[in-house]
Amino acid sequence: MGTNRFNNFTEYGIGIGLRAPHYQHILSRKPVVDWFEIISENFMIDGGRPLHILDQILEQYKVVQHGVSMYFGSAEKPNRDHLRRLKELVKRTKTPWLSDHLCWGSVDGRYTHDLLPMPYTFEAAKLTAQKVREVRDYLEVPIAVENVSSYAEYHVSEMSEWEFLNEVVERADCGILLDVNNIYVSSQNHSFDPFTYVNSVPAERVAQIHIAGHSKYRKYILDTHDHPVIDPVWKLYERAIQRAGHTATLLEWDDSIPSFKEVHDEALKANRFLAATALATAV
Amino acid sequence: MKLLQLQRTMARAVMQPLTFTERMKRTAPDGQPMRTYAARFIKPNDRLTSFERLEIYNRQYWFRLLSSMVEDFPGLRAVLGAARFEAMSKAYITDCPSRSFTLRNLGSQLESWLHQHPRWAGNKQALALDIVKLEWAEIEAFDGKAEPPLGPEDLSANAGANLRLRLQPYIQLLSLRYPVDDLLLEIKNSSDDNEVASNAFQERRKRKRVQTVAKLKPAAIALAVHRIDNSVYFRRLEPEEFTLLNEVKQGRTLQKAVAHAFIETKIPPKELPVLVQRWFHNWAALGWFCQPETKTETSARSKNRIKEKPTGARRKRKIV
């Protein structure tokens, strides 16, 4: 397992996010990295340095696109200009799959630029799944939806977050980008068992896994991507790969970004768990 | 509550400005207490009330958008001062919330908005407008489209005076009342130094920056904001050079563009041929001209023009 139709039957190993402070290091030192994840929106432009850098990266590395503003859960229709630009980028990167978040963030054409939590209702699941299908059909690439960290829940919710995720992916017939740090953050903020979440996800649909660090406050945890991964999140990761197999794994580090080596070394810690899982499977 | 209704309700609260102490306002957009408003759709938990949970998103929204403004408009921030810039940014974002999937476009309306709201810049209005114009041009030039450059083989031998050249789409031509190019470079250099400087040094730099802004005298300049090897540069232009480039950009024939550029010139006529030749040589060396549109592109553009014409007031869409 680990390779499936939602990640285009690829075996992508451990990657890290492509971030501007590391450009020079990557292009001059050419470190060995399984793959890079790019934030699609940073490259949905007409020209200039970002695309020039991306083209150089594409010559040497595998790249997967990850979006932050498709807002599958927003009640409005997808933005046509967004889709057109995204498709141009998909052609450029030849990303084997594309991910974005299971959330909303815009309404009536106004963008919050945040990943706002969904109400877990059947109405929302139906609409979200329909939008995922529309986007996939237009882009002609497998889609994986990522669970977000959240700090609020709605009265109208009719099911748990993992039930909602399952409802959406089954209706849309799409993949899952399972963010185990987000599961941990939300489990602390909403007092649920994170292992129940990981154990409830359809493993055969997991296209990719995200790991990351976060910041703990007195009454809640914020998903800040500015720290190493903590042990409880590694435990969730271990459980996730026990269920889903060797799945493409990516470390997100987006703020207070340390050296390339530090970020890459942190990501490579995932190897411990992948090796242990492989051994357990062999035995 | 239906999905659309819930999203509208939450977005109104999230996008409502924070208090001076950066907390969520006690009064909701509809006038009722925010505690009641939040409790209508957000569940409390054992640690946070509905108000407090909603407040996390309200604060994140403003922190994110305000830092984007700081990042994109350091020049305007230096002109207005940090506190006034922040207050202005809040007012701007309230009036012109983001309508693009990317924060890159957040400041696209700032120049026209500031023009309509002169109170924010007071007696520095002209300077503020100039620096916003320059900072937005820098954003456009940074990631604007580059077409394949024009080569000798692209020039028709018999085009002569009727030749129409095309400027690279990323080139921005600005007519400014203040020499804000120097000011912006000074501000950026001091910001770079600040990253590694001591507090005392930063304080001296800050004072120097304030003095630089205060001392800046009006002096009309024409500027091209362009790219070399994917880095953005400012190039000052002679007034006639600026007019000529603008005429070329608008699709005039070379003959008409040159004629228009020198209508009111004080340059002696005998010097003009050499001057024009030098300018074109420089522009070509900088790769500012691009290949002519193919017939298909020209035809598509004409069709679009016809389609858009009846709407009249339709604003030309910014690159997103």
The ipTM estimated for the assembled molecules is 0.95
Q: Which amino acid, B70?
A: V
Q: Count how many domains chain A has.
A: 1
Q: How far is A16 from chain B (nearest CA, A)?
A: 22
Sheet holding B231-237, edge to edge: B172-176, B221-228, B231-237
pLDDT at A187 over 90: yes
Residue from B61, B101, B232 to probe the interface with A (highest A Cβ count within 10 Å): B101
DSSP labels, B227-291: EETTEEEEEEE-HHHHHHHHHHHTT--HHHHHHHHTTT--S-GGGHHHHHHHHHHHHHHTT-EEP
Give the chain B residue nearest A104 (alpha carbons).
B7
Contact criterion met (CB < 8 Å) for A111 and B101:
yes
Render pLDDT for B191-213 as a digit per residue (tens, 0 to 9). 765 555 566 666 666 666 667 77
A85 close contact with B: CB closer than 8 A: yes
**Model confidence over B224-245: pLDDT tens digits?**
999 999 999 999 999 999 999 9
Res B262: pLDDT = 93
**In terms of C-beta density within 10 A (0-12 exposed, 13-18 middle, 19 or more buried), how is residue B207 classed?**
exposed
Q: Check whether A165 has a pLDDT greater than 90.
A: yes
pLDDT at B160 over 80: no
Across A57-61, A180-184, B293-297, least confident range = B293-297
| pLDDT one-digit tens code per residue, A19-41 | 999 999 999 999 999 999 999 99
- Report CA Rg, chain B: 25
Per-residue pLDDT tens digits for A42-80: 999 999 999 999 999 999 999 999 999 999 999 999 999
Is B307 a residue whose pLDDT tops 50? no
- For the residues A98-120, what does the mean pLDDT come to? 98
Q: Least CA distance to A149: which residue of chain B?
A: B57
Contacts of B70 (CB under 8 A, 6+ apart): B77, B85, B89
pLDDT, residue B1, reads: 78
Contacts of B145 in chain A (CB under 8 A): 46-47
User: Closest partner residue to A107 among B11, B53, B60, by Cβ?
Assistant: B11
Q: Is the pLDDT of residue B137 over 80?
A: yes
Q: What confidence score (pLDDT) does residue B299 get?
A: 52
Burial B177-195, CB ≥16 within 10 A → b, else e: ebbbbebbebbeebeeeee
Interface contact A47-B42, CB threshold 8 A: no
Determine the distance in angstroms separating the CA of B121 from the nearest CA of chain A, rounded to an integer. Answer: 27
- Taking the C-alpha atoms of residue A236 and residue A251, their distance in angstroms, rounded to an integer, is 14
Q: Which 3 state secondary structure label does DSSP give B169?
A: coil
Q: What is the mean pLDDT of residues B51-71?
A: 98
- Contact predicate B118/B125, CB 8 Å: yes
Q: Which is nearest to A207 in space by CA: A67, A72, A70, A11?
A: A11
Residue B144: the pLDDT is 97
User: Are A148 and A180 contacting, i.e. CB atoms less than 8 angstroms apart?
Assistant: no
The answer, yes or no, to whether residue A13 has pLDDT greater than 70, is yes
Chain B residues closer than 8 Å to A111 by CB: 97-101
A127 vs B: CB within 8 A: yes
Identify which of A104, A107, A114 has the shortest CB distance to residue B60. Answer: A114
Q: Which of A85, A112, A123 sits opposite B14 (nearest CB)?
A: A112
Whether pTM > 0.80 for this model: the answer is yes
Interface contacts (A, B; CB < 8 Å):
129
Biggest CA pair distance of chain B? 85
Q: What is the mean pLDDT of chain B?
A: 87
Q: How confident is the model at residue B320 (pLDDT cuts 50, 70, 90)?
A: very low
Q: Is the dihedral of CA A211, A59, B142, A99 positive or negative?
A: negative
Going from the C-alpha of B131 to that of each of A4, B182, B261, the distances in angstroms are: 52, 11, 26
Q: Quick check: B311 pLDDT over 60? A: no
A5 pLDDT higher than 90: yes
Chain B within 8 Å of A95 (Cβ-Cβ)? no
- Residue A70 Cα distances to A63, A81, A106, A171, angstroms: 19, 11, 9, 18
With CB atoms and an 8 Å threshold, state whether A112 touches B56.
Answer: no
Which residue of A lies nearest to B229 if distances are taken between CA atoms? A49
CATH at A254: 3.20.20.150
Q: What is the pLDDT of residue B205?
A: 66
Average of per-residue pLDDT across B238-259:
94
Residue A202 Cα, gap to closest chain B Cα (Å): 26
pLDDT at A120 over 80: yes
Return all residues near A193 (Cβ < 8 A) that are at least 6 apart.
A187
Structure tokens at B35: 């505690």
Smallest Cβ distance to A219: which of B14, B47, B146? Answer: B47
Whether A279 shows a pLDDT value over 80: the answer reads: no
Would you place residue B219 in the very low, low, confident or very high pLDDT band (cuts 50, 70, 90)?
Answer: very high
Cβ–Cβ < 8 Å for A67, A37: no
Q: How far is CA A7 from CA A99, A137, A145, B51, in A?
A: 10, 16, 12, 40
Distances (CA, A) of A100 to A64, A135, A143, A150: 11, 11, 8, 16
Q: Tell me the two tokens of residue B301.
A: 């553009």
Angle between helices B199-215 and B180-194 (to 10 degrees): 170
Q: With H, G, I as helix, E, B as strand and everything else as coil, classify residue A1.
A: coil
Read off the pLDDT of each residue in B66-74 and give the average, rounded to a whole number: 97
Nearest CA in chain B to A120: B3
Q: Which residues contact A115 (CB under 8 A, 6 or more apart)?
A: A68, A101, A103, A105, A148, A149
Q: Which domain holds residue A222?
A: 5-282
CA distance A71 to B78: 35
Q: At what angle do helices B125-143 and B180-194 cross, to 10 degrees?
A: 70
Cα gap B65→B58, rounded to integer Å = 11
Nearest residue, CB atoms, B99 vs list A111, A116, A153:
A111
CA distance B258 to chain A (A): 30
Identify the residue among B3, B290, B316 best suited for mutation to test binding to A, counting A beta carbons within 10 A and taking the highest: B3
**Residue of A85, A113, A123 lying closest to B3 (CB–CB):** A123
For the stretch A231-234, contacts whose Cβ atoms lie closer than 8 Å and that sit 24 or more positions apart, written own/partner, are: A232/A184, A232/A194, A233/A180, A233/A181, A233/A184, A234/A269, A234/A273
Please give the backbone phi and psi of residue A247, each rounded to the nearest 5 degrees, phi first.
-105, 145
CA distance B270 to B285: 24
What is the pLDDT averaged over residues B103-116? 98
Which residue among B54, B102, B230 sits closest to A48, beta carbon to beta carbon? B230
Which of B172, B175, B184, B173 has its CA nearest to residue B216? Answer: B184
Mean pLDDT for chain A overall: 96
Decide if B97 and A110 are in contact by the 8 Å CB cutoff: yes
* Residues in chain B closer than 8 A to A50 (CB atoms): 143
User: Do residues A208 and A99 lie in contact, with contact meaning Cβ atoms separated by under 8 Å?
Assistant: yes
Which residue do the tokens 């040094």 mark?
B201
Whether residue B14 and residue A123 make contact (CB cut-off 8 A), yes or no, is no
For residue B64, pLDDT over 90 is answered with: yes
In this prediction, residue B151 carries a pLDDT of 80
CA B118 – CA B124 distance, rounded (Å):
9
> At which residue do the structure tokens 């819930």 appear?
B6
Residues 241-280 of A with CB under 8 A from B: none
Contact A154 B47 (CB under 8 A): no
Residue B62's H or E segment, with its range, is helix B50-72
Find, among A177, A124, A167, the residue nearest to A147 by Cα.
Answer: A177
From A94's Cα to the closest Cα of chain B, the distance in A is 21
Give the mean model confidence (pLDDT) for residues B41-62. Answer: 98
Please check the confidence at residue A87 and state whether its pLDDT lies above 80.
yes
- Contact flag B48-A220 (C-beta cutoff 8 Å): yes
End-to-end CA distance of chain A: 16
| Closest C-alpha among A197, A200, A177 to residue A188 | A197
Out of B54, B100, B143, whose CB is closest to A152?
Answer: B54
Which residues on chain A are in Cβ contact (under 8 Å) with B71?
Answer: none
**For range A133-139, the mean pLDDT:** 98
CA distance B83 to chain A (A): 23
As a whole number, mean pLDDT of residues A235-260 equals 96
- Minimal Cα distance from B231: which residue of A? A49
Q: Report the pLDDT averaged over residues B148-177.
A: 85
